[in-house]
Structure 1
Amino acid sequence: MKPGQVCKYIGLVIIMMTTVFLLNACNRHSGQDEIRSAVSQLPQTLDPRYAMDAASARVNRLIYRSLVDFDEHSQPIPALASWRVLSPRLFRFTLGPEGRTFHDGRYLTAEDVAATYQSVLDLPDSPLAAEFGNISKIEVHDENTLDFFLRDADSNFPMRLILGILPLELIATNHDFSAEPVGSGPFKYVSWRQALHLERVKDKQRFRLEEVKDPTVRVLKLVRGETDILQGDLPPELVRYLQKQHSLEVQESQGTNFAYIGLNMRDPVLSNPLVRQALAHAIDREAIIQHALVSGSRLAETILPPEHWAGNADLQANAYDPGLARELLQRAGVRLPLKLVYKTSTDAQRVRLATMMQAQMHEAGIALEIRSLDWGTFFEDIKRGNFQLYSLMWVGIKTPEIYHLAFHSSAIPPTGANRGYFMDKKVDTLIAVSDWTNAAARIHEQLPYIPLWYEGQFAATQKYITGYTLQPDGNWDGLVDVRRSKLRSVFPGKNTLEGFK
């Protein structure tokens, strides 16, 4: 290299390094050091006692800590506390040393745990009230130890205790945890103005979660470097587009989140089991998975996947057969075409899936009217039972207790999530004795849900983002260890210094 070229090269390097230094100095004050994630929807609530939507569950896992968590085999493991079974109706929990400091500086004790669970039992409108209705008494021994007394024996009781723990003093003052959450999790709440801002406790790294409803806009923001992380809620063609971008890393995995069509069992037409069977045979799930879902998606027959320890791998699929579906409707005495209203969100991918099912059902003599609503209105309608058909997804489910929450006759909203008002004494009995295999079989036979699929998972990140781990249930726990490289491109549209020679 000639002397002049050496000087020119050194000068360029100095300019680039100076620019990086100046930008970093500015970024410390402008918020650009935040790790940014564009999501399809932000939480409905940051109060874990009311959280039922996917985004709320995912964020609350970051802000709060629970007594119990789960390993990779969906078996319960200690989180805040370990436990002993003193009798079939008495469980003792002992708090460990980790995660005992609330974000406001208070020390987490057994009194806080007792107050949290007692508050759920006392709240008239918590959807989790039925889940903990078997608790007869909570007794605190000291700051580390408490006992849960049950009305009926429940060997799976520890699996239920995944609720984020709240401070007793704030519960007593009716603090609005959704507006200003205080937990002891790895992230603390900073603010929520347009975007949700969190701070990782261990290193004060800031995070920005921005709601961007349009999937194409989310993708463009990532490609342009306007956000750092995308996860889920994209059609396969956009995922393939991201995979072609050299500035990005894309992870994929098989998923475990259960997509389904919910039915209102109080509806005079849908209460007929022949009609429900017809609906199940009117959907070509395999075609939808092949053409409209991301890699790692697969057919589902019940909430828990077959590899789960409480799963049922012997359930027979309701194969796509529009002729049989039409025959079942005629046997049910239904006049064709059968007109039904299907509610979904305004998310483009959800509307697309609904449109595909609408076309398939037409072949079976079903005229499906799609009503796409903004998420808040849609979810309120579902919780109130204001629907004929709707589609949602159960996310992050680890235990068979979900069958109680979703299908037991005591779990009618607002104290549970049996939104279709499904009543079946046999299912209640099977759930009561923890016969999960036969409970799943009975539910599959009765079809209060039309099972669809377990949706595959993917995450796309900028290459300067490292350490992000994709989870099969789509949770956002990967944010706990994610890092931003110290050196980023200072040139628009570039994520590395590649190309400058």
Structure 2
Amino acid sequence: MSINRRQFFKTSLLSFSSMSLAGLVGCQTQSKNREILVGITSRPRMLDPRKATDALSSRVNRLLYRQLIDFNEKFEAIPDLATWQQLSDTRYVFTINEQSVFHSGEPLTSADVVATYNSILDPKLGSAHRGSLKGIKTVKALNDSQVEFVLDKADALFVGRLVIGILPKSLIEKQHPFHEKPVGSGPCEFVSLSEQKLVIQRQSDQINLVFIPVKDATVRVLKLKKGELDIIQNDLSPELVQYCQKQPELKVSWSSGTNFGYIGFNFEDSLLAQPALREAIAHGIDRQSIIDAMFSGHARIAGGLLVPEHWCGVTDMPGYEFNPKKAKALLKSLDFTKLPPGLVTYNEQNEPIIELSYKTSNDPTRIRLATIYQSQLKKVGIHLNVQSYDWGTFYSDIKKGRFQLYSLAWVGVKSPDIFQYVFDSSAIPPSGANRGRYRDQVADKLIRLAGNTQDLSKQAELYKDLQRHLQATLAAMPLWYEDQYAVSRKEVTGYKLYADGRLDGLLDCVKNSY
């Protein structure tokens, strides 16, 4: 059969276009699967590990840089880049045991470790980590693979402080802007950074991890549904998580967490300084019912600031059970004689009704929790006046002691010397984070004894005794340890969650084609 030239070209063009379109779709699908889009609340603030203090930056920096040590599931220090020997109370030698290469192509040696830590110790850098490392007297390279740290005094927790990512000495000396163009030796290499996204590439398979800031939680979920994001970790309201669980294209994964939620008391307040009122509040809030209703059971009641699995954690911490009858009886035992008029009234049964203010941020979930506390405590005779503020105003008030009650959470705590920072009488802001102005001689003594004890097993027992004392005196009211969770599209597989919220699961997950 004959075919004219015009028909031949038309037929060929259609055939070529079909093949090209199929190839283009295949390339686009393949290209799309070469990147994993991660929704985050805001852009990482600091990609120089010497200066990073916020949780997101620290978690991203773990992917870009290697550090001397890491932590196991009990939060004990374990080797990462290096093993170590403690030669005396004040002398440690670290040995780099594997060949690690910076993304610039330079090998990582002891000189880079020395340069990194010396730069942190230099006041001109302004590193926030200098305080925890100020006990270092000297740090020097013994050879290409060994580094010696000499301390000015013994510190049993010293090894656990060496979690700063190592930077190349050559670039430190050139004052390279690591915060804009990170150069590390971690499993991921920096690609680009803009207001719209941060792109880093996995070295194992050249897949890009694209971090996209989306401030509004609802918008993040909608982008996840549309395929404009692949995964979100935490930072959603309970209602949004429940919504995601019902969406056929999404899945929610859970893991136990270490974030410690608590209610803080102002010990300079004449009412809250009385143990009976703090105990009444503890017995008047039904924590388990709140966990069940607000978090769908995805949290566990807390005892101490450290989870029970921590090497200093308390597994048998005595608690404050929900007991409204006991709470009412405790209120009757309070001393009201020194209070201004109007703070306490009485109902028809001659039971006291106490007015207290409770400050929180304007986050919708935190406001909902506050109204639940308000409802539960009203039944025992405590009327909470809930005041919500933008984060800056709220946090400023808390640091300045302008509150009676407030609620916050400690995130990613690993070292037990957090107790000195939070509960020591010398750590009242701005000298620390003792925001409740808690002053207790027994607590101070235990904190100092633990800090000066060099035997880690004995130190653990002292910190356990301290936590039991903090619980007995209700230095703060423990609420719960919230679970970690990730919401992802169904095609994302292999993502692992960690109790401390790290993002290391991004190193192994894959996005499959459908």
Common fold: TM-score over 0.5: yes
- CA distance in 1 between partners of 2:181 and 2:41 (Å): 22
User: What whole-Å deviation, never above 9, does each CA across 1:74-97 have from its counterpart, x for those lacking one?
Assistant: 332211111011112221111222
User: What whole-Å deviation, never above 9, does each CA across 1:410-463 have from its counterpart, x for those lacking one?
Assistant: 666667555555454224224313222112112223433321111112222222
SS at match of 1:193: coil
- Map 1:84-163 to 2 at 5 A: 84-98=85-99, 100-123=100-123, 126-163=127-164
SS at match of 2:312: coil
User: What whole-Å deviation, never above 9, does each CA across 1:111-142 have from its counterpart, x for those lacking one?
Assistant: 33234334444449655444334333323322
Structure 2: runs of 5+ lacking an equivalent: 1-15, 345-353, 454-458
Describe the shift of the 1:20–1:372 C-alpha distance in structure 2 as closer, same or farther (beyond 3 A).
farther
* Greater Rg by CA: 2
Partner of 2:450: 431
Aligned residues between the structures: 470
Aligned pair partner of 1:207 in 201, 209, 215: 209
Please say which of residues 82-91 and 422-431 is displaced more in the overlay.
Answer: 422-431
- CA distance in 1 between partners of 2:509 and 2:94 (Å): 32
User: What whole-Å deviation, never above 9, does each CA across 1:243-266 have from its counterpart, x for those lacking one?
Assistant: 333333332222232222344556
Partner of 2:13: none
CA shift for structure 1 position 301: 1.0
- Map 1:62-461 to 2 at 5 A: 62-98=63-99, 100-123=100-123, 126-171=127-172, 177-189=178-190, 190-263=192-265, 273-322=275-324, 324-325=326-327, 327-328=330-331, 331=334, 333=336, 335-336=343-344, 337-344=354-361, 346-363=362-379, 364-374=381-391, 389-408=405-424, 417-420=433-436, 422-424=438-440, 425-432=444-451, 433=453, 434=459, 435-461=462-488
Please say which of residues 266-275 and 428-437 is displaced more in the overlay.
Answer: 266-275
Residue 219 of structure 1 aligns with an amino acid whose one-letter code is V
Q: CA RMSD in A?
A: 3.5
- CA distance in 2 between partners of 1:126 and 1:43 (Å): 17
- CA distance in 1 between partners of 2:49 and 2:266 (Å): 26
Please say which of residues 458-467 and 120-129 is displaced more in the overlay.
Answer: 120-129
Residue 248 of structure 1 aligns with an amino acid whose one-letter code is L
Partner of 1:482: 509
Residue 88 of structure 1 aligns with an amino acid whose one-letter code is D
CA shift for structure 1 position 161: 1.7
SS at match of 2:142: strand
SS at match of 1:331: coil
- CA distance in 2 between partners of 1:175 and 1:330 (Å): 63
- CA distance in 1 between partners of 2:447 and 2:467 (Å): 12
CA shift for structure 1 position 181: 3.5
- CA distance in 2 between partners of 1:164 and 1:279 (Å): 43
User: What whole-Å deviation, never above 9, does each CA across 1:445-500 have from its counterpart, x for those lacking one?
Assistant: 34333211111122222222222112233221100112222x3xxxxxxxx4xxxx
CA shift for structure 1 position 275: 4.7
Please say which of residues 281-290 and 245-254 is displaced more in the overlay.
Answer: 245-254
Kept after mapping to 1: 8 A contact 2:112/2:168: yes
Kept after mapping to 2: 8 A contact 1:167/1:183: yes
Structure 1: runs of 5+ lacking an equivalent: 1-13, 488-495, 497-501
CA shift for structure 1 position 405: 4.3
Kept after mapping to 2: 8 A contact 1:409/1:428: no
Describe the shift of the 1:196–1:444 C-alpha distance in structure 2 as closer, same or farther (beyond 3 A).
farther
CA shift for structure 1 position 313: 1.7
Partner of 2:8: none
- CA distance in 2 between partners of 1:177 and 1:121 (Å): 17
Describe the shift of the 1:59–1:139 C-alpha distance in structure 2 as closer, same or farther (beyond 3 A).
same
Residue 152 of structure 2 aligns with an amino acid whose one-letter code is R
Describe the shift of the 1:266–1:146 C-alpha distance in structure 2 as closer, same or farther (beyond 3 A).
farther
- CA distance in 2 between partners of 1:24 and 1:144 (Å): 47
SS at match of 2:156: coil
Kept after mapping to 1: 8 A contact 2:250/2:490: yes
Partner of 1:469: 496
Q: Tell me the TM-score normalized by structure 1.
A: 0.80
Kept after mapping to 1: 8 A contact 2:360/2:366: no
Residue 431 of structure 1 aligns with an amino acid whose one-letter code is A
Residue 429 of structure 1 aligns with an amino acid whose one-letter code is R
Residue 304 of structure 1 aligns with an amino acid whose one-letter code is L
- Map 1:13-24 to 2 at 5 A: 19=21, 21-23=23-25
CA shift for structure 1 position 151: 3.5
Please say which of residues 41-50 and 184-193 is displaced more in the overlay.
Answer: 41-50
